[in-house]
Amino acid sequence: MKKLVMSIALAGALLVAPTVSEATVKMGDRGASVTELQQTLASKGHNSASNVDGVFGPMTLRSVQSYQRSTGISSPAGNFFGVAGPATLSSLGLSSSGSTSTASSSTSTSSSNSTAVAGTSTTSSNSGVISTARSLVGSPYVWGGTSPRGFDCSGFIQYAFAQNGKSIPRTVSQMWSAGSSVSSPSTGDLVFFETRSGPSHAGIYIGGNQFIHSGSSTGVTISSLSNPYWSKTYMGAKRL
């Protein structure tokens, strides 16, 4: 009887306890797990001691990327470069017990239906995409580029979403076909332009009538939808 009770208890623990494979700490996350990550990176010389605030922003992104490069865990060509996933956390000696929290605990508990990924709301995910995109302003334009060394417009968008755990199509036309049309864009939606025949350029809407994109003559930059060129070529917005 004792063996049966112990077996049931052990099985229950295995089902409930989080595992390292479930852990992911990424841009936009906040909480104790981010603080622990920042402190550990600082102890290994990959983060500034002043950047231990429990907020996964651009500085923490660069710290994670620095550590991943130095250990060979990931590189700018990797889909999850800058995301502290299972391999990175395990290498740092961190477990998933301090699972990530969203920007507001009330958001994560108020409605499980709004959660796109365990522990991450859609709003939080969009915030992470925008934060990643903003951290890349100044990256050069490279035809076919998909890394901070150089992006084309769709490579930039795909990278920003991938760094936040979301896989999206590679080309502008594929993104246009995969998205759901919205009458007016919200933060994190994609805005499309017909610079050639059909959807041929796109960016990420960041609010305030502005979008961030990789332009062929500017690299990654922020532009206004009110700009005469962009307003003339604007096709519409879509949500992925």
Which residues are registered as beta bridge partners of 219? 215
Neighbours of 52 (CB within 10 A): 18
pLDDT of residue 95: 60
* Residues near 32 by beta carbon (within 8 Å), at least 6 away in sequence: 54, 98, 101
Closest by CA to 96, choosing from 23, 193, 204, is: 23
pLDDT of residue 206: 95
Give the helix/strand (H/E) hosting 125: helix 122-135
Rounded CA gap, 212 and 205, in Å? 6
- Please give the positions annotated as active site: 153, 201, 213
- Please identify every stretch of the chain with a pLDDT value under 70, giving residue numbers as ranges: 1-23, 77-79, 95-124
Rounded CA gap, 44 and 66, in Å? 11
Q: Any idea which fold 121-239 has?
A: endopeptidase fold (from Nostoc punctiforme) (3.90.1720)
Which residues are registered as beta bridge partners of 220? 214
pLDDT of residue 120: 36
pLDDT of residue 114: 34
CATH superfamily of 17-101: PGBD-like superfamily/PGBD (1.10.101.10)
Rounded CA gap, 26 and 160, in Å? 12
Rounded CA gap, 67 and 182, in Å? 39
Every domain range in the chain assigned CATH 3.90.1720.10? 121-239
pLDDT of residue 171: 95
Every domain range in the chain assigned CATH 1.10.101.10? 17-101
